[in-house]
Chains A and B, each alone.
Chain A
Amino acid sequence: MSVVIILILAGLLVGLVFLGAFVWSARSGQYEDTTTPALRMLADDPPVKIDKTNITLK
């Protein structure tokens, strides 16, 4: 089962990169605001109107 070593190293590599990404994201303020990002992503396209019969673009 020595192959477990490879898998653990690969798993840890992925995990550590994720950890680094998490630390970076938390420290750089990515999660300071958990309200506006959810709203802001809705606003980047032309507004969408949904009527009873179909979906149209203004």
Chain B
Amino acid sequence: MNTNLETFKYDNRIVRAFAVATIVWGIVGMAVGLLAAVELFLPAATLNLPFITFGRIRPLHTNAVIFAFVGNGMFTGIYYSLQRLCKARLFSDFISWFHFWGWQTIIVAAAVTLPMGFTTSKEYAELEWPIKIAIAVVWVAFTVNLIGTILKRREKHMYVAIWFYLATALTVAVLHVTNSMTMPAGWFKSYSMYAGAQDALVQWWYGHNAVAFFLTTPYLGLMYYFLPKAANRPIFSYRLSIIHFWALIFIYIWAGPHHLLYTALPDWAQSLGMVFSLMLIAPSWGGMLNGLLTLRGAWDQVRQDPVLKFMVAAVTAYGMATLEGPLMAIKTVNALSHYTDWTIAHAHGGGLGWNGFLTFSMLYYLFPRLYKTRLWSVKLANYHFWLGMLGIIFYIIPIYVAGITEGLMWKQFNKDGFLQYPNFLETIIQIVPMLRLRAIGGTLYIAGVLMMAYNLYRTAKAGQFEPETEVQAPALEKTPEPQGKYAFHRMLEGKPVFFTVLAVVAILIGGMVEIIPMFLIKENVPTIASVKPYTPLEVLGRDLYIREGCLGCHSQMIRPFRSETERYGEYSKAGEFVYDHPFLWGSERKGPDLAREGGKYPDAWHYNHMDDPRSTLPGSIMPRYPWLLTQKMDLDSLPARLRALRRVGVPYPAGYEDGQAQKDLQAQADKVVANLKQGAVTAEPDREIVALIAYLQRLGTDIKAAPVAPTSTMTTAAK
């Protein structure tokens, strides 16, 4: 029957290129994470260099491990398995290499711009707009290569892994574009099109789905390929894999608001996010059980084979993280866990365990096959496994303890009804030992990765790389489709315009069902009359706050709990953030919330605090920012910044940036300088510190100036 047997070659070169990039960027990204971890208990580790302060390298760490390490890992595994599952070479060699070099260029651009302080401040989407555009272009290239390969496949059935790859490519594109809507104000500065609560919702819709469709679906696809391969037995239930795939992708996209529980986001959106998050347990565990049960009767192999060891630990970590995640999305649990290190522990359980270990497993599987040899040292791989496990344990357990400690201390009242720990710093000093232990865990984990790099290097040296694997397969024959049953769908396929119209109608109906209530319910768009746009000096100060990554440690969102209103003041309302492009609510507190910082301390206190936080707060873990005292503010860019802000809806009068803004800025700067003088500090009015102080003193003061206006603002968050 196989009269039309075709001979073709799988491309192994591109797989090797991505694999090497995975290892290199993995080591870099984790090392940056370790530096960030050390800085949290040893602030002097920044050496007073702006480029390596925690605020700037935290986004570098997250971007590097997510998009460089896991991203390259994903492409390695997809390009290896896709060719074999489709029985076809990748669609285009040119696109493959464009994809590879494009992605590495983006990573290098990120590694340069983030330490320089070019950031949008939106988590996992920090890169500025020219790089965002490059990401979109390269992602489209990847998608074309993926779909092109699928179209020319010689295997009619699309194995379940391919479905996971497709969902990844499509959804990440939509997420990236939606969250990247930004108005440029120069080459490396832009303002989010959305403001305040709206920006927060878009950001966490994106942020959560980055976890879902960048860290989860592609890796589940890899699990469905490499786990059966490594164990040499079929997946436990192919039927379950299909069901949990479709369930997972349909539910995941709605769970984003669980990152904003008890914030100024409307309650209904919070509840929606919580409910969908809880539903996610089922499809997530479908995947985990399917993976683990595949090893029924094969556990003896797990004992011997490091590939399977890493795989089993990875799938188990996936199961734990996807049970914990929905639990953390329950509002009462989140009230304790949010803003604490608990979130960091959760993220690293998933990141180090699921993504890290699955990547290592895949690399140990691939290198001997690409190089036609044995793994150089199984023993060393086993040491890596146990060192990695110890690393994870030493990382997450202290951080869980730290998180719960922080959460409880923040909420503790004494018997007289006052906060037990009114000084925020007390709660940080309490967890410093945990932060030290965490760095030890991280060190162990990286040591394991270095062992792997050496082991794989020796494996490559010992073997002979096979650049292309020649295989034969029959061409895919067009099977004649049965009449009648498929007639309607065939008709649709033959009429693309008609099909598009039907799809648009379906979108519009669904959209309107949701949109009409939105316009009817006024509480969703609360406004407060006394909230005004930032002054030009405050705009520059706010941009410095963004540049230095202050929101890595300081939230600007007071939740409606007595413990928070006692500590920080009136809880935050959505109407206070209508001019915040982007929103700066933050997701972590390693320092106190700053939403009502304005007026709490004199200007001179802030000046001294930025110069050396330990001069004002002994024991503080905040880095020094001496360069803010000497660097001049970027006045030349002010007109472009104000224009961009006006374009996204901030009501600065027309022509304001051509003279009047500069005068206003000068006057306010002089006022700050006069205030500083009263505190025995002499400063020039054109230094960055002046702008930052102006911004900090503005925070949260708008609603102090006038009584809180309409009652509609109160109803949403008061519960």
- Residues on A facing B (Cβ under 8 Å): 1-18, 20-25, 27, 30-31, 33-35, 37-42, 44-45, 48, 50, 52-57
Which one of A2, A22, A35, A57 lies within 8 Å of B246 (CB-CB)?
Answer: A22
Residue pair A14, B511 in contact (C-beta under 8 Å): no
Q: How far is the CA of A35 from the CA of B423 in the complex (A)?
A: 63
CA gap between A7 and B232 in the complex, in Å: 42
Q: Which residues of B contact A30 (CB under 8 A)?
A: 157-158
Other-chain contact of B305, A1, A21, A41, A55 (Cβ < 8 Å): A55
13 contacts between A and B (CB under 8 A): A2-B198, A5-B511, A6-B178, A10-B175, A13-B507, A14-B253, A16-B503, A16-B506, A21-B166, A37-B159, A42-B228, A55-B305, A55-B307
Do A18 and B524 have beta carbons less than 8 Å apart?
no
- Asked if residues B238 and A35 are in contact (CB atoms below 8 Å), the reply is yes
Q: How far is the CB of A48 from chain B (nearest CB, A)?
A: 6
- Pair B158/A7 contact, Cβ less than 8 Å: no
In the assembled complex, which residues on chain A have CB atoms less than 8 Å from the CB atom of B158? Answer: 25, 30
Query: Known interface pairs A18-B250, A34-B242. Does A3 touch B174 (Cβ–Cβ under 8 Å)?
Result: no
Contact pick for B178, options A7, A21, A37, A50, CB 8 Å: A7
Interface presence of B127 (CB below 8 A): no
Question: 8 closest A-B pairs (Cβ-Cβ)?
Answer: A38-B234, A3-B198, A1-B524, A38-B238, A34-B238, A34-B239, A54-B374, A8-B514
Collect the chain A residues with CB atoms within 8 Å of residue B152's CB.
none
Shortest beta-carbon distance from B555 to chain A in Å: 21
Q: Do A10 and B178 touch (CB < 8 A)? A: yes
Q: Is the CB of A52 within 8 A of B304?
A: yes
Of B159, B246, B511, which contacts A18 at CB under 8 A? B246
Closest to B166 in A: A21
Contact check, B87 vs A44: say whether CB atoms are below 8 A apart.
yes
- Report yes or no: B514 in contact with A5, Cβ–Cβ below 8 A: yes
CB distance from A44 to the nearest CB of B (A): 5
Q: How far is the CA of A54 from the CA of B225 in the complex (A)?
A: 21
In angstroms, Cα B504 to Cα A20, docked, is 13
List the B side residues contacting A45 at CB < 8 Å. Answer: 84, 229, 369
Nearest opposing residue in chain A for B160, CB measure: A37
Residues of B within 8 A of A3 (CB): 194, 198-199, 201-202
B269 touches A4 (CB 8 A): yes
- Find chain A residues with CB under 8 A from B232 CB: 42, 48, 50
Q: Does A8 contact B238, Cβ atoms closer than 8 Å? A: no
0 or 1 for each of B287-314: is its CB under 8 Å from A? (1 = yes)? 0000000000000010011010000000
With both beta carbons as reference points, the residue of chain A lying nearest to B376 in the complex is identified as A54
The residue in chain B whose Cβ has the minimal distance to the Cβ of A38 is: B234
Q: Is B486 an interface residue (CB 8 A)?
A: yes
CB pair A41–B225 under 8 Å, yes or no, is yes
Which residues on A sit within 8 Å (CB–CB) of B333? none
A11 to B175 Cα, complex, angstroms: 9
Task: Report which of A20, A23, A41 forms a contact with B159, defined as CB distance below 8 A.
Answer: A41
Taking A9-B507, A16-B503, A30-B158 as known contacts, 18 extra A-B pairs with beta carbons closer than 8 A to each other, sorted by chain A number, are A1-B525, A3-B194, A3-B199, A3-B202, A5-B514, A6-B178, A7-B202, A8-B514, A10-B175, A10-B178, A27-B489, A34-B238, A41-B85, A42-B233, A48-B232, A50-B232, A56-B374, A57-B368
Q: Is the CB of B238 within 8 A of A4?
A: no
B151 at interface (Cβ–Cβ under 8 A)? no
Question: Contacts of B372 on A, CB cut-off 8 Å?
Answer: 57
Contact status B503-A14, CB under 8 Å? no
Report the minimal beta-carbon distance from A38 to chain B, rounded to whole angstroms: 4
Most-contacted residue by chain A among B87, B157, B198 (CB, 10 A): B157
B contact residues around A22 at 8 Å (CB): 246
In the complex with contacts A5-B514, A7-B178, A18-B249 CB distance below 8 A: yes
Q: Assuming the A-B contacts A2-B518, A50-B232, A54-B374, are A15 and B238 also in contact, with contact meaning beta carbons closer than 8 angstroms in the complex?
A: no
Q: What are the residues of chain A within 8 A of B375 when measuring CB–CB?
A: 54-55
The answer to whether the Cβ of B235 comes within 8 Å of any Cβ in the partner chain is: yes
B205 sits at the interface (CB 8 A): yes
- How far is B155's CA from A35's CA once the two chains are assembled, in angstroms? 15
Nearest CB in chain B: distance from A21 CB, A? 7
Interchain CB contact (< 8 A) of A33 among B87, B157, B506, B518: B157
Task: Verify A14–B507 contact, CB threshold 8 A.
Answer: no
Interface centre among A7, A8, A12, A13 (most CB of B within 10 A): A7
Residues of chain A contacted by B369 (CB below 8 angstroms) = 45, 57
Contacts of B249 in A (CB 8 A): 18
**Beta-carbon contact of A55 and B374 below 8 Å:** yes
When the two chains form their complex, are residues B201 and A42 in contact, meaning their CB atoms are under 8 A apart?
Answer: no
Most A CB contacts (10 A, CB to CB) among B166, B246, B266 go to B246
With a CB–CB cut-off of 8 A, which chain B residues contact A34?
238-239, 242
In the complex, the answer to whether B167 meets A18 with C-beta atoms within 8 Å is yes
Interface presence of B510 (CB below 8 A): yes
Q: What's the least CB distance linking B160 to chain A, in Å?
A: 8
For B84, the chain A residues whose CB sits under 8 A away are 41, 44-45
Q: B437 interface residue, CB < 8 Å from A?
A: no
A8–B202 touching, CB < 8 Å = no
Contact flag A20-B503 (CB < 8 Å), given A1-B525, A31-B242: yes
CB of B24 closer than 8 Å to a CB of A: no
Q: In chain B, what residue has the closest Cβ to A31?
A: B242
Chain B window 231-249, contacts with chain A (Cβ cutoff 8 Å), 1 for yes, 0 for no: 0111100110010001001
Does B408 have its Cβ within 8 Å of any Cβ on chain A?
A: no
Cα separation A27 to B373 with both chains bound (whole Å): 43
**How far apart are the CA atoms of A45 and B175 in the complex, in Å?**
36
With A and B bound together, what is the CA distance between A14 and B159 in angstroms?
21
Contacts of B65 in A (CB 8 A): none
Query: In whole angstroms, how far apart are the Cα atoms of A38 and B234 in the complex?
Result: 5
- Expressed in whole angstroms, the minimum distance between the Cβ of A14 and any Cβ of chain B is 5
**B residues in contact with A21, CB < 8 Å:** 163, 166
A54 vs B201: C-alpha distance in the bound complex, in angstroms?
Answer: 50
List chain A residues, Cβ under 8 A from B266. Answer: 1
Pick the residue among A11, A42, A55 that contacts B368 (CB under 8 A): A55
Which single residue of chain A is at the shortest CB-CB distance from B513?
A8
A5 & B194 in contact (Cβ 8 Å cutoff): no
Knowing A4-B518, A18-B246, A55-B307, the reply to whether A37 touches B238 (Cβ < 8 A) is: yes
| Residues of the A chain whose Cβ atoms lie less than 8 Å from the Cβ of B199 | 3
B residues near A53, Cβ cutoff 8 Å? 378
Q: Tell me whether A8 and B178 are in contact (CB under 8 A).
A: no
Q: Do A11 and B254 form a contact, CB below 8 Å, given A2-B518, A31-B242, A37-B159?
A: yes
Q: Counting CB contacts under 8 A, is B515 at the interface?
A: yes
Q: Which residue of B is nearest A49, CB measured?
A: B232
In the bound complex, CA of A41 to CA of B202 (Å)? 39
Within residues 148 to 188 of chain B, which ones have a CB less than 8 A from any CB in chain A?
A: 155, 157-160, 163, 166-167, 170-171, 174-175, 178
The CA of A20 and the CA of B249, in the complex, are separated in Å by 13
User: Is B197 part of the binding interface, using a Cβ–Cβ cutoff of 8 Å?
Assistant: yes
Q: Which residue of B lies closest to A47 (CB)?
A: B232
What's the minimum C-beta distance from B361 to chain A, rounded to whole angstroms? 12
Q: Is the CB of A12 within 8 A of B238?
A: no
List chain B residues, Cβ under 8 A from A42. Answer: 228-229, 232-234
1/0 contact trace for B522-534 toward A, CB 8 Å? Answer: 0011000000000
